[in-house]
Amino acid sequence: MRDQWIGWPSFFQYQRLSFLANNSRFLILPHVRIPNLASYVLAQNLRRLSRDWQAIYNHPIYLAETFVDPQYFKGTCYKAQGWEFLGYT
């Protein structure tokens, strides 16, 4: 699904994985009540991500992705930040 959305031919699927970053953990504890904190933190991280990746690995990041378990979470902070839902895995 992701590779179709990007528009890369299937033979690039493994060759270009190094240009993708996965946000595998993001948690703001329920007792923390700061308006828009999640959106702010995600935005700040994305602003730095490609630059930092370039400095460490000598190539940019073109896409960041994440996975949300809908049984436990709604992904509200990602929706608020403008992330696009591409489907279930």
DSSP string, 1-49: -HHHHHT--GGGTTTTGGGEEEE------TT---TTHHHHHHHHHHHHH
Q: What is the mean pLDDT of residues 22-43?
A: 89
DSSP E strands: which ranges in 1-89? 20-23, 63-66
Q: What percent of the chain has pLDDT over 90?
A: 38
Structural tokens at position 70: 């809908």
| pLDDT in the model for residue 37 | 93
36-72: per-residue pLDDT in tens?
999 899 999 988 998 999 999 999 998 999 999 899 8
Contact status, residue 87 vs residue 47, Cβ threshold 8 Å: no
| pLDDT in the model for residue 24 | 81
Contact status, residue 42 vs residue 81, Cβ threshold 8 Å: yes
| pLDDT in the model for residue 35 | 92
- pTM, entire model: 0.76
